Amino acid sequence: MAASTPSKGKAPVYPPLIIHPTLPHKQTFIVLHGRGSNALKFAPPLLAIEFPDGQTLQTALPHAKFIFPTATARKATIFKKKVINQWFDYWSLDNPTEREELQIQGLRETSAYIHDLLEKEIALVGAKNVVLGGLSQGCAASLISLLTWQGEPLAAAFGMCGWIPFRKRMSDIVSPETLGNNGDNDDPDPFARDPKDEAEELTPAAQAVAYLRKELEMDLTSSTSMVFQQIPLFLGHGVEDEQVPFSQGKDARDLLKCIWVDVTWKEYEGLAHWYSSAMLGHLVDWLREKTDWHSWEEPEEESTGQ
């Protein structure tokens, strides 16, 4: 099934940084940097860090191509409209529901761009060999891209020290109270189906995704795709994170579990707002469990020199 590309999208003006595999190309990782960074700053230290067993992402995944996009330069409202690289604008994580409208344009455009990258890599290696992830705001953008993805199920997705935009409103839709009373209340349901529709009533999880697509001004299809429920997700977060509070990472985890995402959660004592050797090592171990890539078992081959 082909992915549905959101309308009104545009690609960043910067070409992505592509790190070719050291062995024949079999997998692709698309990894998004945090706010104010770029691919050239983000990629080298991420790829160089050694896991506890001495490996790196490149040595552990020699068949993987790594794509590092750079976010569009946008005006950051909270910084008096200073122009920085960011996947979307937002006000403050101290109160995530404040001025949420600032996020809409960037999230819509970024999701369209990420979906396009996914489609291109799927055409090369197949959906079950493509992984999407990100750090901080890149994590937030990748999660929204994941929830609005309507193509084939990916191999996996991951996020580090991130959060989910519009989480509160989506959580309200899938809250235990909503689930307990089937959403019945005195107010009209904004997601109610036309009685003439033959399709079944949307589940709370589907309602939450339909709300997200509507908020981002994306095309609303006759049936809401829930393909993200077939994509395993790894989330890691530092307990000492002050930039994206640890509590927001847990809130994201809880929402995703409520909408039936296969989430694996790892928290790291003493870690602030960044990744760590242990986190990346856990990510690779988790990928071994969640994927059936035959290359895991292959003996090392001579480098292609790419």
Structure tokens at 174: 């899938």
- At CA 296, angle to CA 153 and CA 51, rounded to 5? 100
**Rounded-to-integer distance, Cα 159 and Cα 32, Å:** 9
Cα-based distances in Å from 198 to 183, 194, 201, 222? 20, 9, 9, 10
Type of residue numbered 82 = K
Helices 137-147 & 204-215 angle (0-180, nearest 10)? 120
User: Which domains are present in the chain?
Assistant: 17-296 (3.40.50.1820)
**Rounded-to-integer distance, Cα 128 and Cα 195, Å:** 38
Q: Which pLDDT does position 199 carry in this prediction? A: 41
Q: Which pLDDT does position 100 carry in this prediction? A: 86
Type of residue numbered 43 = A
| Phi and psi angles of residue 82, each rounded to the nearest 5 degrees, phi first | -65, 140
Residue 51 DSSP SS3? coil
pLDDT (tens digit per residue) in 128-147: 999 999 999 999 999 999 99
Structure tokens at 141: 């953008």
Report yes or no: 152 and 1 within 8 Å, Cβ to Cβ: yes
Q: Which pLDDT does position 220 carry in this prediction? A: 74
pLDDT (tens digit per residue) in 2-42: 333 334 455 567 899 999 999 999 999 999 999 999 999 99
**Rounded-to-integer distance, Cα 219 and Cα 234, Å:** 28
Averaged pLDDT, 65-94: 90
Q: Which pLDDT does position 249 carry in this prediction? A: 97
Report yes or no: 106 and 87 within 8 Å, Cβ to Cβ: yes
Mean pLDDT of the chain, nearest integer: 87
Averaged pLDDT, 287-296: 88
CB atoms within 10 A of CB 2: 9
pLDDT (tens digit per residue) in 188-241: 444 444 433 434 578 999 999 999 999 999 987 656 679 999 999 999 999 999
**Rounded-to-integer distance, Cα 168 and Cα 8, Å:** 25
Listed as own residue / partner, the contacts of 55-61 with beta carbons closer than 8 Å and 24 or more positions apart are 55/281, 55/284, 57/29, 57/280, 57/284, 58/19, 58/22, 60/284, 61/21, 61/27, 61/29, 61/284
Type of residue numbered 42 = F
Report yes or no: 291 and 9 within 8 Å, Cβ to Cβ: no
**Rounded-to-integer distance, Cα 124 and Cα 106, Å:** 27
Q: What is the pTM of this model?
A: 0.86
Report yes or no: 139 and 107 within 8 Å, Cβ to Cβ: no
Q: Which pLDDT does position 225 carry in this prediction? A: 79
Averaged pLDDT, 64-75: 96
Structure tokens at 196: 């003439």
Residue 290 has pLDDT above 50, yes or no: yes
Sign, Cα dihedral of 40, 42, 43, 45: positive
Report yes or no: 151 and 3 within 8 Å, Cβ to Cβ: yes
Band (pLDDT 50/70/90 cuts) for residue 298 is low
Q: Which pLDDT does position 94 carry in this prediction? A: 79
Q: Which pLDDT does position 189 carry in this prediction? A: 47
